[in-house]
Structure 1
Amino acid sequence: MNTFDYIIVGAGSAGCPVARALTEDPNVSVLLVEAGPHADRFWVNTPAGMAKLYFNERLNWNYHTEPLAKLKNRRMYWPRGKTLGGSSSINGMVFIRGHAKDFDSWRDLGNPGWGYDDVLPHFKAMEHFERRADQWRGQGGPLWISDPVVKSASSYDFIESASRLGHPRTEDMNGEAHDGVGFMQHSIKGGRRHSAFVAFVKPILNRKNLTVVTDAPVQRVLFDGKAATGIEVKHEGELRRFTAAREVILSGGALNTPQLLMLSGVGPGGELQKHGIPVVHESAGVGQNLQDHFYMHTGWRATADSSYNANIAGLRKYWEGFKYLMTRRGYLALGSSQVAAFVKSSPDEPYADLQISFRPMTFQYFPDGTVAVENQPGMGVSVYQLRPQTTGTVTLRSNRPSDKAVSSPEFLTDPYDIAAMISGIKQIRQIMTTEPIRSRVVSEEVPGPKVRTDEDIFNFMVETGNSAHHQGGTCKMGRDPMAVVDERLRLRGIERLRVVDASIMPHLTSGNTNAPTIMIGVKGGEMIRLDATPRRAISA
């Protein structure tokens, strides 16, 4: 049983929908390979458990960037899911599709079939939106999308303050109007995390044509000339080979997929030769075009009734835990943020290029890697730029699969990006000093009143700026010389090999990237099924 029609590398946000789509045909066999373990654990299923997963050594790749010259040589931490469901099993569960113009831009960059009108049916088909189905939203799909079960009074006040500053209210940022301010939605069902694995694969585990293998990191893709023939994995301490009669599909994510391609001999020729890897196919764009959303956090000391810190810290957290176990409701059933405001950094922007997120609680991070809710009442407000101009790279550290790739984003190297983020900090302050949210603020703790000028804000960004953990673009889709895959997600220059994950994004979407990544898996799975690559002859 080492031969399958399709082999999917990575049981994450994109790989799980691909597996579901391909196994619809009972005459097709599918192997889904995941580097990490199963994900059926209490703190994975519990939405508030994300804080305990942030540095988890078993379920998280725990990546770091290289030292960043523009950020005082800091190494930025990049958590990525290493378990069934991938990052959808450890993230904040925020569900944001992105702006319609994001996808129209993908189409206009040489990718027919990826405009908003093309992807909207896939977004609708993949979801069950609790509130309704209409022209924009779907019901009956595998992935459950819900509103927060607790909507804090301070969240309503934040929305009101933003609206008084001219930002329109939106009751559904995944519907007709993306830009504006309103409550976020989350991939949570009945108070439990609804990961891509739980939504797409767990219900079909009884399909006889699906095989799932966990704790099996893939070492390389195998080739016969310019055709992919299978994979080599490390499983239970041994190297094993699996053969693909039709196709190999890479869904390892924006960091792992380009690394695996290069380890397998597909990538920039100079990079492969530097590490003594025989070149199967030179593809200059593999590992290039790395993008991420640069993120800034602000913290506000709040009045007692404006924050739920006290409810999930100290002795009261045990009552919340008991309530959650009994009802699957309460503060432990909430995602990472309550409200989002999509705003422009300047009037010249065609549509919002900043996402401001509000949460009526605050975390404290300790040097040993642990995370705890602050004891004092607090409100957290963050911002990140949606359309960064800078791009970085993912390259190899060595020719050993066990060595993590070299990730080098280029944060704070572009004047446009810097100006947009400075505007974002200023707009947070505008909102938080506007009634009615203003009455809930005791003091601005981070960055604090000493940070006033643009230069002060820039220095604050240098010292504390972080990542929103939305990496993408490293095997981009397109037709230019740096494009790695075509619009059918087939690897250019290689047969029987596709990439289906966030790495194919020509540029990032406007918002959290999990929802569009799942959509890529849904659309990609349908394309592979419709293309129905013929089985190749396999000798005994």
Structure 2
Amino acid sequence: MDDEFDYIVVGAGSAGCVLAARLSEDPAARVLLVEAGPEPRDFWLRAPAGMGMMFMNARYNWRFETEPVPGLGGRRVYWPRGKTLGGSSAINGMVYMRGHPMDYDHWAGLGNEGWGWDDVLPYFLKSEDNARIESGLHAKGGAMRVSDPVLRHPATEAFVAAAETAGIPRIAELNAPPFEGVSYQQFTIRGGRRESSYTAFLKPVRNRANLAVETGTRVLRVLTARGRATGIETAKGGRIRTRRARREVILCGGALASPHLLALSGIGDGAELQRLGIPVAAHLPGVGRNLQDHWNAPFALRVTPDSSLNHRLRGWRKYLEGARYLATRSGFLAMGSSAVSAYVRSTPDRPQPDLQLAIRPMTSQFLPGGKVEIDPLPGISGACVLVHPESRGEVRTASPDPMADPEFHPNYLDDPGDIRRLIAGIRLMRRVLGAAPIAGRIEAELAPGAGLETDEALEGYIRSSGGTSWHPVGTCKMGRDPMAVVDPKLRVHGIAGLRVADASVMPRIIGGNTHAPTVMIAEKAADLVRRETGRA
């Protein structure tokens, strides 16, 4: 019985922690949650500013890298992914963004009934404990804390005012109508500490008698028999085990791991699986395809000394900030990533915002060893992010060895329209930065650089210096078309007792950060599972 459970959840990230906690609310259901990474035992996993320390930390980060990207001149792109309880929510920027209602209505319009905005909003509300807002669009009392920035720096206030000067309206918040304009972001931070999916959902209930949580355990494949998932095969400390699922196996490995595990289990493109020598359990050519991510054009600016936090986070002053955080759980170490964002349209005829303009009052560099170093000059940084890219890539399983990483082919900027819209975004960002009052604080544009003016020069910059926002989605897309991997109830086509519930099921990437929507997907998945067993 120690190896037999009602539900086996694979991956304890943004979705897996939620799903395991919700399914184990039923005391009659035995739930196993399996995570490849270690227990989260590091101070910097708790401090919001620790995201920089985790950026290349091999213990808590998979530290993936893409294959050479043709659209970037053959550059490889570094992809951090969380490797601990909480997954990427344990190392991310903690931004709480849901995306635009039209994103979800688009999902529903593709034949995914039950995934329109009005359908998913209750699941956002179910998980939310908003520190400031309670309305029909926000809730208090949920498991996941959502809070405002602890500080509002004068430079970010100046950016908001400049955006207004440039014609971008200031709005009360970004997760409510009109869903377009400039405002401060909210973060998954509770009392100055990071609120990951683990700390919010799983840690408070981890002692449930019907819930088993295993860390440091690699899932090798999903076991199937006669068109049904029967369990998983795991490896830990050199020991291979079979864990049986009486009801369901649910994959929550994320957009990179879930399609890879499906392929290793014989679920994917039949010809590719046969080439690798993997027996085919179900021919689903869409497994690993439809990969999407947010690409951005970064900005760096030299500013007046009072417009940057850099001097507060260098030398002896950084120790004062550390002491302040330890004593009060406040100050700059309690801040999330970019405090202010504007959501705008690249052209007036776009049906919804397709660009994000973000800024933060500091600049830093990642040294080769992974250490974060704050720049000595006073600077602020920002980015123009394309939130609805048309380019599509894939996660490709290249070996039948479950310990071998898959290949990541994001195909960034493969669609020429992506470049055009990013160039428009750079010009719009410059218009904001050139407006009062932020213009009076800026001494020089360091990147892209004032000398880059033509479309050709800006395209070269985007290709050579642009970066990912680390939001991969879509590789097990939901739908009913021939390339769909799961149906609207998240059940894998052709294999009973197997679901995927994470960011990989998004048919199209949402126009914002992906953590909150992934939590929503897990909340809805738990209800879908319980309804089928009559326990909703």
User: Shorter-chain TM-score: which interval?
Assistant: over 0.9
TM-score by length of structure 1 reads 0.98
Q: How many residue pairs get matched?
A: 534
Distance 1:144 1:175 in 2: 18
Report the AA paired with residue 265 of structure 2.
Answer: S
Percent identity reads 48
Q: Displacement, 1:363?
A: 1.1
Q: Is 2:102 the counterpart of 1:101?
A: yes
Report the AA paired with residue 255 of structure 2.
Answer: A
Distance 1:377 1:50 in 2: 21
* Structure 2 residue aligned with 1:229: 230
Q: Is 2:452 the counterpart of 1:432?
A: no
Distance 1:424 1:237 in 2: 51
Distance 1:196 1:174 in 2: 20
Contact 1:136 1:176 in 2 (8 A): no
Contact 1:103 1:114 in 2 (8 A): yes
Q: Displacement, 1:20?
A: 1.4
Q: Deviations over 1:147-201 (max 9, x none)?
A: 0001101111101111111111122111233211000110000000000010000
* Structure 1 residue aligned with 2:42: 41
Report the AA paired with residue 128 of structure 1.
Answer: D
Q: Displacement, 1:367?
A: 3.0
Q: Displacement, 1:125?
A: 1.0
Distance 2:79 2:93 in 1: 14
Distance 2:303 2:194 in 1: 29
Q: Displacement, 1:318?
A: 0.1
- Give 1:105-184 correspondences, 5 Å limit: 105-184=106-185
SS in 2 for 1:246: strand
Distance 1:44 1:238 in 2: 29
- Give 1:455-494 correspondences, 5 Å limit: 455-494=456-495
Q: Deviations over 1:237-270 (max 9, x none)?
A: 2111110000000000000000000001000012
Distance 1:70 1:106 in 2: 28
* Structure 1 residue aligned with 2:30: 29
Report the AA paired with residue 48 of structure 1.
Answer: A
SS in 2 for 1:254: helix
* Structure 2 residue aligned with 1:80: 81
Distance 2:409 2:187 in 1: 30
Distance 1:70 1:123 in 2: 36
Identify unmatched segments of 5+ residues in structure 1.
535-540
Distance 2:483 2:260 in 1: 16
- Give 1:226-305 correspondences, 5 Å limit: 226-305=227-306
Report the AA paired with residue 508 of structure 1.
Answer: I
Distance 1:201 1:508 in 2: 26
Q: Displacement, 1:369?
A: 3.2
Distance 2:361 2:252 in 1: 35
Distance 1:452 1:368 in 2: 34
Q: Displacement, 1:384?
A: 1.2
Report the AA paired with residue 84 of structure 2.
Answer: T
* Structure 2 residue aligned with 1:338: 339
Distance 2:454 2:48 in 1: 38
Distance 1:58 1:484 in 2: 32
Q: Displacement, 1:370?
A: 2.7
Q: Is 2:3 the counterpart of 1:2?
A: yes
Contact 2:57 2:370 in 1 (8 A): no
Report the AA paired with residue 500 of structure 1.
Answer: A
Distance 1:335 1:508 in 2: 22
Q: Deviations over 1:180-234 (max 9, x none)?
A: 1000110000000000010000000121110000000110000112100000111
Distance 1:369 1:321 in 2: 20
Report the AA paired with residue 313 of structure 2.
Answer: I
Distance 1:164 1:237 in 2: 62
SS in 2 for 1:240: strand
* Structure 2 residue aligned with 1:220: 221
Distance 2:144 2:398 in 1: 37
* Structure 2 residue aligned with 1:370: 371
Distance 1:253 1:346 in 2: 32
Distance 1:178 1:138 in 2: 18
Distance 1:171 1:361 in 2: 24
Distance 1:451 1:282 in 2: 48
Deviates more, 1:118-127 or 1:171-180: 171-180
Report the AA paired with residue 243 of structure 1.
Answer: R
Give the ranges of 4+ consecutive aligned residues of structure 1 lying more than 6 Å apart after TM superposition. none
SS in 1 for 2:255: coil
Q: Displacement, 1:533?
A: 8.0
Deviates more, 1:467-476 or 1:412-421: 412-421
Contact 1:21 1:529 in 2 (8 A): no
Alignment RMSD (CA, Å)? 1.0
Deviates more, 1:191-200 or 1:521-530: 521-530
SS in 2 for 1:6: strand
Distance 1:295 1:533 in 2: 45
Q: Deviations over 1:54-74 (max 9, x none)?
A: 011011111111001121111
Distance 2:522 2:62 in 1: 21
Q: Displacement, 1:40?
A: 3.3
Distance 1:16 1:532 in 2: 21
Contact 1:422 1:457 in 2 (8 A): yes
* Structure 2 residue aligned with 1:497: 498
Distance 2:202 2:41 in 1: 13
* Structure 2 residue aligned with 1:538: none
Contact 1:381 1:428 in 2 (8 A): no
Distance 1:313 1:49 in 2: 15
* Structure 2 residue aligned with 1:524: 525
Distance 1:307 1:237 in 2: 50
